[in-house]
A and B are shown apart, each in its own frame.
Chain A
Amino acid sequence: GAVVSQHPSRVICKSGTSVKIECRSLDFQATTMFWYRQFPKQSLMLMATSNEGSKATYEQGVEKDKFLINHASLTLSTLTVTSAHPEDSSFYICSAKTGYEQYFGPGTRLTVT
């Protein structure tokens, strides 16, 4: 299947700092990428849809000024968590869409201290 990479896999940052997470589709081009957040023992929660060359579409309740998304190319989308707080600590997963299917990155574990 298609391969999606995510970097970093783990990051620890101090409260008030910003963290950037990269999502890359390695062997296909993706006009649409998705960013999810997952809490322990729960399913994925869609945060936003990232469209190449246009503004991201955010789900209700997700602060667009806090979670900045940039989809600069057909193979790269970035999520920047600005002014991170401990409650932002979570597992963030991206996916890239091709046809019917979405392929997921390995996830990024963010811990804000």
Chain B
Amino acid sequence: TQLLEQSPQFLSIQEGENLTVYCNSSSVFSSLQWYRQEPGEGPVLLVTVVTGGEVKKLKRLTFQFGDARKDSSLHITAAQPGDTGLYLCAGAPSNYQLIWGAGTKLIIKP
């Protein structure tokens, strides 16, 4: 069974601080997606990383795919209250289903 371990599961920090969320697996993924979900809504795709070592930036968010394509990280710089939400990573192994992390509930306090 393929697993994707996401950490931390909960994070509450002050506005302006930096944070990193990790997703780790012993399995190789052909791609990995990061989603953000607001309460009562479906997940919204933030980014897809495909190449080992790839780094993508989305404003203050930096996404990295590990060289071996087994892990990924999401780094937020100078977090703002609007970044509050549930962040989910999902890896795509060779088949077409997604393997989901448990999610990170992020709260940014003003």
Q: Which of A37-45, A62-70, A74-82 contacts B (4 or more CB under 8 A)?
A: A37-45
Are A43 and B103 in contact, with the CB atoms below 8 A? yes
Number of interface residues of B (CB under 8 A): 23
Secondary structure class of chain A's binding surface, majority of residues: strand
Q: Known interface pairs A100-B92, A104-B42, A109-B40. Does A49 touch B100 (Cβ–Cβ under 8 Å)?
A: no
Are A102 and B33 in contact, with the CB atoms below 8 A? yes
The residue in chain A whose Cβ has the minimal distance to the Cβ of B47 is A101
The residue in chain B whose Cβ has the minimal distance to the Cβ of A109 is B40
Number of interface residues of A (CB under 8 A): 24
Asked if A32 CB lies within 8 Å of chain B CBs, one says yes
Asked if A56 CB lies within 8 Å of chain B CBs, one says no
- Chain A residue contacts of B35, Cβ below 8 A: 104
Asked if A7 CB lies within 8 Å of chain B CBs, one says no
Asked if B27 CB lies within 8 Å of chain A CBs, one says no
The 9 closest A-B pairs by CB, nearest first: A104-B42, A100-B31, A43-B103, A107-B42, A104-B43, A106-B42, A43-B100, A93-B42, A43-B102
A interface list, Cβ under 8 A from B = 1, 4, 6, 32, 34, 41-44, 46, 49, 91, 93, 95, 97, 100-107, 109
Q: List 21 A-B contacts (CB under 8 A).
A: A1-B45, A4-B42, A6-B42, A34-B98, A42-B102, A42-B103, A43-B88, A43-B100, A44-B43, A44-B88, A46-B97, A46-B98, A91-B40, A93-B43, A100-B30, A100-B48, A101-B31, A102-B33, A104-B42, A106-B41, A107-B40
